[in-house]
Structure 1
Amino acid sequence: MAVEIRRARVADAEDYSKIRLEALRVAPAAFGSVHEDVAKFPTSRFEEQLRNGCYFLAYESGKVIGTSSYAQFSLNRRRHAGLYGMFVTPRWQGQGVAAELVNAVRQQARLGGYRELYLSVNPSMVRAVAFYEREGFRDTGEREPMRRDPSIALMTMKAAVEG
């Protein structure tokens, strides 16, 4: 398996939109966005996201197979690093691609001077929770309502950046 993980560029908007739409279609319970809404976005919307954010794409033989993103956010007046939008196409799950995508975000957080990395996950996504635990993430005990469905309480997890 020769998987390449790299930071997405604006020119990767088509690949990013493809993997994002696949993620929303395959794992709707994992994301706050809805496939039908995001499918209507013009390419320029994805270009803008890539221009202003920090996204990573996983490729195998030139085909996009996964994504993750890094963002900084404020919580209790402190700045934190977050892992968002994690997805690996089902055919490639369980083969180390997700761990490489997490590592790319960890490296970005390290460059930003952060010691901890946070994420939110739907606790019903048992395989995702188990994966994050293997990657060193632990449940903080905090819950937050999912944007698109406030009846779902997302689990907040954190891990050391040095993982």
Structure 2
Amino acid sequence: MSGLLLRPMTAGDCEGVATMRIRGWQHAYRGLVPQPHLDGLDIGADAERHRARLLANDGSVVNLVAEAEGGELAGWAAFGPYRDGEVRTGDAELYALYLPPERIGRGVGRTLLTEAVHRCATAGHRSMYLWVLRDNTRARRFYERAGFGADGAEEPFEVDGVAMPEVRYVKELAG
């Protein structure tokens, strides 16, 4: 995608990433997550969590931002080792992929996902996993078009007492 720079996230990006993530939740999860929860999401608190994680990162988690012409943040992806409790499997996981709602469908998400998959394959990971809300059909279609498929695993996820199961997707990587 022309005019888009993928680069490592910096502490200065945390506010923009938090804004993207929260606006992304409010857009993608409307009707799936209780509205009072979505309305109560706090950009400042989320930015502080991102800043703390970024500063504590041992290098195993990659945070990439997509920067549009003019320096505007157009997307964010985070990925690293697959989290299966305390067990490290040698596989990778996409932890997060968020865009401002107005950027959806413009290729930014595909660009970030392609780069994440490429980096994980180059690092020697055999597979890449991700978790997505079972009822988030738009996201599920996006990942399926990118070659990911549900593998049958499901995890409980709850927000404000409402169950919203997540399903696991996987893509085999060629190193």
TM bracket (short chain): 0.7 to 0.9
Q: CA deviation at 1:123?
A: 2.3
Query: Root-mean-square deviation (CA), in Å?
Result: 2.6
Relative to the length of structure 2, the TM-score reads: 0.77
Give the match for residue 124 of structure 1.
135
Which structure 1 segments of 5+ residues have no match?
A: none
Give the match for residue 47 of structure 1.
51
Instruction: Map Cα deviations across residues 12-61 of structure 1 (whole Å, 9 max, x no partner).
Output: 22222222222232223689xx5535435175432122232421112212
Q: Percent identity?
A: 23
Give the match for residue 73 of structure 1.
82
Specify the code of the residue in structure 2 equivalent to 1:135: A
Q: CA deviation at 1:67?
A: 1.3
Residue 108 of structure 2 is aligned with which of 89, 97, 111?
A: 97
Give the match for residue 150 of structure 2.
139
Residue 93 of structure 2 is aligned with which of 82, 89, 92?
A: 82
More strand by share: 1
Q: Secondary structure at the match of 1:41?
A: helix
Aligned pair count reads 161
Specify the code of the residue in structure 2 equivalent to 1:81: A
Give the match for residue 164 of structure 2.
152
Give me the whole-angstrom Cα distance separating, in 2, the residues matched to 1:42 and 1:133: 29
1:56 and 1:133, CA in 2 relative to 1: closer, same or farther beyond 3 A? same
1:141 and 1:44, CA in 2 relative to 1: closer, same or farther beyond 3 A? closer
Q: CA deviation at 1:154?
A: 0.8
Which structure 2 segments of 5+ residues have no match?
A: none
Specify the code of the residue in structure 1 equivalent to 2:74: I
Specify the code of the residue in structure 2 equivalent to 1:145: P
Give the match for residue 65 of structure 2.
57
Larger Rg: 2
Specify the code of the residue in structure 2 equivalent to 1:65: A
Q: CA deviation at 1:152?
A: 1.6
Give me the whole-angstrom Cα distance separating, in 1, the residues matched to 2:15 and 2:44: 13
- Of 34-43 and 74-83, more deviation after overlay is shown by 34-43
Q: Is the 8 A contact 1:56 1:69 kept in 2?
A: yes
